Amino acid sequence: MSQRCEWVQGKPAYYISYHDQVWGKPEHRDRYLFKYLLMETFHTGLSWQLVLSKEAEFEKAFDGFDYRVIAHYQSDKVASLLMNRGIIRHRGKIEASIKNAQAFLQVQADYGSFDHFIWSFTQGQVVERQSGEALAKWSDLSDQVTRVLKTYGFKYIGSVTIYSYLQAIGVINDHDLNCSFR
């Protein structure tokens, strides 16, 4: 029988699926790297369970997380998103998603891909949680990534949000040491 991280016990099936199949697994596809960045910006100040429960609705509302499309959203699309009951309707976060898509494209232009950029902070290596370390909320790495992202104009990000993002995309593997999904 598989053993999971202690914090996922009692969570809904979609959350367990996220833990088992996504969290801590290295991701290199730019579209998914953007997807989780967008979702993490909506996570700011809210529970991840709430955001994750709306994943399918976010995907529909935000054109399959296509950052090339999102970067060109206009006020009519923002108004439409603000009326969408399936997502979190927060003007600042919606507008930040557009700005972040534009910044994402700039990072791609500068680095060839967002993947090259985000993994360059660890020279392509996964940062593994070590025995005896408590589950962190931020780190020197997330501080550094946040500082650079902000120079590109990314919004609704901070070190805690970026730490969570780095976990989601597998740059940081914070699974419990006895977790079968490590």
- Binding-site residues for Zn(2+) sit at 5, 19, 175, 179
Catalytic residue positions, numbered: 18, 40, 48
Helix, strand, coil proportions of the chain in percent (round to 5)?
60, 0, 40
Count CB atoms within 10 A of the CB of residue 176.
Answer: 16
Q: Tokens representing 133?
A: 């370390």
Query: Strand locations in the chain, DSSP E?
Result: 127-128, 172-173
30-43 and 91-111 helices cross at what angle (nearest 10)?
Answer: 150
Instruction: Please give the Cα distance from 177 to 9 (Å, whole number).
Output: 16
Instruction: Say which residue the tokens 């494209």 belong to.
Output: 105
- Nearest Cα neighbor of 117 from 137, 138, 129, 103 is 103
For the annotated binding site, the residues are 5, 19, 175, 179
Q: Are 14 and 52 in contact (CB under 8 A)?
A: yes
